[in-house]
Amino acid sequence: MSLVVIIGAGQAGASLAARLRSKGFDGSITMIGAEPAPPYQRPPLSKKYLLGEMALERLFLRPENFYADQNIDLRVNASVTAIDRAKKTVSVGGETLPYDMLALTTGSAPRRLPAAIGGALPGVYTMRDLADADALAPHMAAGKKLLIVGGGYIGLEAAAVAASRGLEVTLIEAAPRILQRVAAPETADYFRALHQSHGVTLIEGTGLERLLGETHVTGARLADGREIACDLAIVGIGITPETALAEAAGLALENGIQTNSQCQTSDPAIWAAGDCASFPWQGGRLRLESVPNAIDMAECVADNMLGEAREYHAKPWFWSDQYDVKLQIAGLNAGYDRTILRPGDKPGTQSVWYYKGETLLAVDAMNDARAYMIGKRLVEAGKSPAPETVADPATDLKSLV
C-alpha cells in the first residue's frame, strides 16, 4: 500500500487529499497541520469572521467528519520537526512516519516588524490565521484608534473591516502610494477615495520609525517625526513562504520551494503546492499567493502522484473585498507599460486593463463582473484586443471574445 504524507493542513493540503480520494487512490493519507482547527478558509477571517458574521464551523473547508469518512488521518495541532529523505520518514510529536510520497503544503507566514522598533509590543497584531482573528476580534470596538502598517490588500481589507466597525483608522504606507507593488495608480486612486469616504486616514510616502509604548502599543512615530496615537496596531506588510523544513531537508529553494513543471521538488518523492512553492513560468519562476493557485496546484500534485505526469499551467486570478466593493483581478500585470481605465455601466464601477505593448496582461475590475469575466477569458486565451478598442466606451466588451 502506498503511503502519502501531507505536511500542511490548509487549502492546498485539503485539496490534495480530497483529490487523491476522488480519483480512487486507496493508499494511506496522513495530513499534518500545526493549527488546532481542521482545514479552513482564510479569506473570510479578516472579513465576515472578524465581523462576527460567520461562525467557526462555516469556515471549515469540509465537515469535520469528512476526513474520517474518507480514511484521511488528519492530525491537527501537530508540527513536523524533520524530514529524513534517505529513510523517507518525517518526525512529528516524537513519532516517525514513513512515506512513499510526501507533499509540502506549508503555506506562508506574515512578515512582522522587528522587536527593536516595537513589533513585539502587546496590542500589535498580524492578520493571517484563526488565532490572529480570535486575538484581534475582542479589541475591534467602535471608537478605538487603530493604526495599520502597510497599504497592500491585507492592510486595506483590515482597514475596511475596522472602519465598518466604527474604529478610527489610520493607515500608513512607506511607498509613494497604496498598492504600489501590485496595482496601477488608477486602481490605487479608486481605493484611496473609497477608504477616505469611509473616514480612513491614509498617510502615503511616509515610513514607520517605530511603534511607541512600554507595556502596550500606544502610538507610532513616523519617519518624518510625526506621532500618531493608537490603541492597537495591525501589521500588513506581506507574507513569506514557509520553507524552513524544506531547507533543513536540503531541498532546492528559489522564491519558495523550487518545483518543476509537474510540481515536484528537487527530490522526486517530494512535491510542493500553494503559497510555499514556486514553479516555472514564462521563462522564469513564479510563486502565487492565492486560493485558486493553492487548489489548482494541489490537484496537479495529486494527479502526478497518481502517475499522470501533468504539467502545471497557472491561470492567475485573485479577489479582494472592501466595504461593498469586490475587486476581481485576472492575470498578472508584471511588466506592464500602459493601462486603460474603462468606466463600468453603473456609478462606482470600473476596470483597469494592463498592457505590455499590444499584449493584454491583466485586468482589475471593481464591482464590474462583466469586465472581469471577459478580461479573464481573453488573458487565459492569450488574446489581446487593441488598447484603443478597449478604451472606446462604445465598444461592447462581449464583442471582444
| In-domain check, residue 317 | no
C-alpha 110/C-alpha 389 separation (Å) is: 41
**Structural domain ending residue among the three candidates 182, 201, 235:** 235
340-359 per-position pLDDT tens digit: 999 998 999 999 999 999 99
Q: Among residues 195, 242, 213, which one has the least CA distance to residue 80? A: 242
Integer Rg of the chain from CA: 22
Give the cell for residue 326: 469586490
| In-domain check, residue 314 | no
Give the cell for residue 264: 515536484
Q: Does residue 266 share a domain with residue 246?
A: yes
Q: Does residue 59 share a domain with residue 16?
A: yes
| In-domain check, residue 123 | yes
Which residue range(s) make up the domain with 268?
3-109+239-305
| In-domain check, residue 19 | yes
Dihedral sign from CA coordinates of 334, 338, 343, 344: negative
Domains held by the chain: number: 3
| In-domain check, residue 385 | yes
Q: What distance lies between CA 109 and its chain's CA centroid?
A: 10
Task: Assess contact for 320 and 194: CB atoms under 8 A.
Answer: no
Q: What is the pLDDT of residue 51?
A: 84
Q: What is the pLDDT of residue 110?
A: 95
Q: Does residue 246 share a domain with residue 212?
A: no
Q: Does residue 125 share a domain with residue 105?
A: no
Q: Does residue 123 share a domain with residue 104?
A: no
Q: What percent of the chain has pLDDT over 70?
A: 100
| In-domain check, residue 351 | yes
Find the CATH number of the domain harbouring 345.
3.30.390.30
How do the pLDDT tens digits run along the chain, 401 residues long?
Answer: 799 999 999 999 999 999 999 999 999 999 999 999 999 999 998 888 988 889 999 999 999 899 999 999 999 999 999 999 999 999 998 999 999 999 999 999 999 999 999 999 999 999 999 999 999 999 999 999 999 999 999 999 999 999 999 999 999 999 999 999 999 999 999 999 999 999 999 999 999 999 999 999 999 999 999 999 999 999 999 999 999 999 999 999 999 999 999 999 999 999 999 999 999 999 999 999 999 999 999 999 999 999 999 999 999 999 999 999 999 999 999 999 999 999 998 999 999 999 999 999 999 999 999 999 999 999 999 999 999 999 999 999 999 88
- Is 0.85 topped by the overall pTM? yes
Find the CATH number of the domain harbouring 207.
3.50.50.60
Give the cell for residue 365: 475590475
Q: Does residue 251 share a domain with residue 188?
A: no
Q: What is the pLDDT of residue 375?
A: 97
Q: Does residue 77 share a domain with residue 48?
A: yes
| In-domain check, residue 73 | yes
